[in-house]
Structure 1
Amino acid sequence: MQVIKKLLRGIIWDWKRIFYDPEFDFSARPNIDYWHDRGCLRGSKLNSFQLERMLLFQSYFHNEDSIFDVGSGTGETLVWLSKRGYDVTASDFNSSLQHYYEDIGINYINLDASRLSDYFQGRERPDYITFFEVLEHIEVPENNILDAIKIAKKGVIFSIPNSTHYSYILRMLIRGRFLCQWRVHPREHVRFWGVNDVKPWLEELLSGRQFELNVLPYQRSFILGHFVPHLFARGIFVVIKKPE
């Protein structure tokens, strides 16, 4: 029964993306209204995307590792990791989040993602730097990845949406509408990848460097997600590990 319910929820979620048309709100405050509209200001409860992402994370990394997260937003995933013993630090370019993180007991740094190198000059470096659903909001995320690799002791982890998911293709075929990955303002996502784009993109970006690279499609729709993940996986989880 639980499997059937999960399957039905997935179908409904996918079909909503085909027919969902958000309303423009040019008066929106991106740092606040975006999170309200996504329903993320609700404590530490994870949605299914976040939970599967964290279970993937937990399968790869030990809880003695230190994590510096970039673009943390309201940090539900960091609360989850913190409760399981991970040493986590949140960061975002939003001073209004300082008190929020103080209340939930997680260290918070008000930091522009483009200033990572400046911030870590003379400071203790974390084991891993993470970008959970962040890079698609940045025009040139390649710079952020390269900076993070130089700084982190062990590696970089990030997750991004899969923009070749079947729901986006059907949206274009049925309605002639481009894929929609925004809630409050169209500028929310400025970069797009499919599952099969990520590995060649990173191999070229990291050319000449020795890294262990894992590209893991997740939130797979139906059993087809295990055979054609570029069409039936909703998200992409990426691990870049430095050689030991």
Structure 2
Amino acid sequence: MASGGARRPARDPGRAAGPVRPGPAPGGRVWYAAYASNMCLDRFTCYLAGGRPPGAARTYPGCRDARPPERAVPLLLPGQLYFALESAVWTGGSGFYDPLDPGEMPARAYLLSAGQFADVAAQEMARPPGADLDLAGVLADGRARLGPGRYETLLRAGWLDGLPVLTLTAPWRRAEAEPTRPAAGYLRQLARGLREGHGWSPRRIAGYLAGRPGAAGAWRPADVEALLGPDPRPAPGAPADGPVVPVRPARKIPGRVP
């Protein structure tokens, strides 16, 4: 059992969902694994229903299907969160996921329809929502490069309850990117998401975020902890989070797609 009860995706996809077959997601539903500001439900709701998160510089159009997630589950994914480039939404460094780095990364998985995931992915890639995604490549290979941009590489991190766990990141490795200090408003959203989704204490959240590449040496844990404020309670109205159990990768995620 992982610390705090977070789950890890199934290591062997055959045990969780039968043989891996290229094609649409089973049952038309997928898990979207958020690992940065979208761990905070209020912020993620702007991707679904449209809106502008407090402190952000961008208004999101929302999804064709604006319903809230069916479920939300805390996860631990293999790899590491790091901050690089500059966020057009928050300024400061953006959060990215390197699945080949050592360690484990806390995330929050939302159960969505395949259409909702396609619209969320489009907004992450700064594209207009409205077109479905062909998931055959990522389901078969574990990785699909949809473009050269910062969130245009689609990963299958594993399988959970027989459904694929999908997320988005950059095509490069952490070591290839220049680390960048994240903005206070961005870290506040990540901190809230970790509190909501994983139930971590402010001290644990601060230690984790202040130690990520890009934040390390630029943020002190005490300063990150101050961003959360005094109220340790999770925000009301979040979908029920299940027990946090490890989510193992279906298999080793391949390296960069040429």
Same fold by TM-score greater than 0.5 = no
Q: TM-score normalized by structure 2?
A: 0.28
TM-score for the superposition, normalised by structure 1: 0.29
Name whichever structure is richer in helix by fraction. Answer: 1
